Structure 1
Amino acid sequence: MATKDDVKGHFDNYSEYSKTLRSWLVAYGIGGPVLFLTGHDAPDKISHSPLLELIISLFVSGVAFQILLAFINKWAAWHMYKGELDRSYKDTSSYGVWSWINEQNWIDFLIDLGALLAFSVATYIVLHILLGS
């Protein structure tokens, strides 16, 4: 049987990886385009590509996924916090909905996967443009 220390240790580990992944994804979503556009010929090649709108949309989507996930997790955490402060709040439908959301780790997985896919496809397209067929 797991002890409270075991549970806390696993949660702390998860929490740290979660923060690190989100930071890397947001940084890449913002920094990736900057890096691509600071190369010698890169800005001209990318700006004249018929895939420019797709590239921009993918990078913006990846960052938007991470902002959405932070938004969802922030509100779920707030409702869990309020439920601990006011035990009667745990009987409300709002708490029930957010408690359910808080327990659904597949939401985090799918949104992180969406961001990774968006950034991967955008990066592939950009590298294809810059390095040629």
Structure 2
Amino acid sequence: MGQDSKDHDGHFANYAEYSKTFRSWMVAYGIGGPILLLTSKDAPQNIAKSPHLQMIVTLFIVGVGIQILLALIDKWAALHMYRGAFSKYQEEEEDPDCDNHHESATYKFWGWVNRQSWIDLWCDIGALFLFSAATWLVLKILLGTPH
């Protein structure tokens, strides 16, 4: 195959670190952005008077919600991949406590989910779009551009 096939653990560790960092930044921005705006001098009054207030809050909350949902999906997929690998190991060791999770429909479903990179991609793009739209609306308010 090539050098990449020999370093799959290194590639996964690299992916996992970037994924964790990106998700942390996304959630921090989605929560911290509104808090920062509300604690600045004139921003709270200007934003509160805006007809876009409800839209801004909704965009930030939905963006954070998407990232939390994605974290839950990834967490459950990882759990079932772990349980499947462990039950496969137990089967090989002829462990009487093996629950054969690696043969279950649940394992196969979460295995399929785990292989769908488009889920992460579209959730990340969606959250970026929502945060960008919210930020644009806030900047329009703070910079005094016409509604």
TM class by shorter-chain length?
over 0.9
In 2, Cα distance between equivalents of 1:50 and 1:3: 53
Report the alpha carbon displacement of residue 39 of structure 1 after superposing the two structures with TM: 1.8
> How far off is 1:109 after superposition?
0.5
Residue in 2 aligned with 1:97? 109
Regions of 4+ moved over 4 Å: none
Q: How many residues align?
A: 133
> Which structure is higher in RCO with an 8 Å CA cutoff and minimum separation 6?
1
Measure, in 1, the Cα distance between the counterparts of 2:4 and 2:132. 40
TM-score, normalised on structure 2? 0.87
Unaligned 5+ segments in structure 1 are: none
> Which secondary structure state, in structure 2, belongs to the residue aligned with residue 50 of structure 1?
coil
Instruction: State the identity %.
Output: 55
User: Structure 2 unaligned runs (5+)?
Assistant: 89-99
What TM-score, normalized by structure 1, do the two folds share? 0.95
Paired amino acid for 1:54: M
Residue 40 of structure 2 aligns to a residue in which SS?
Answer: coil
Report how far residue 110 of structure 1 moved: 0.5
What value does the CA root-mean-square deviation take over the aligned residues? 1.2
Note the alpha carbon deviations across 1:27-48, whole angstroms, 9 max, x for none. Answer: 0011100111122211001011
| Equivalent-residue separation in structure 2 for 1:5 and 1:63 (angstroms) | 36
The code of the aligned residue for 1:110 comes to W
Letter of the 1:127 counterpart? L
Return the index of the structure with the highest Cα Rg.
Answer: 2
Moved more, 84-93 or 48-57: 84-93
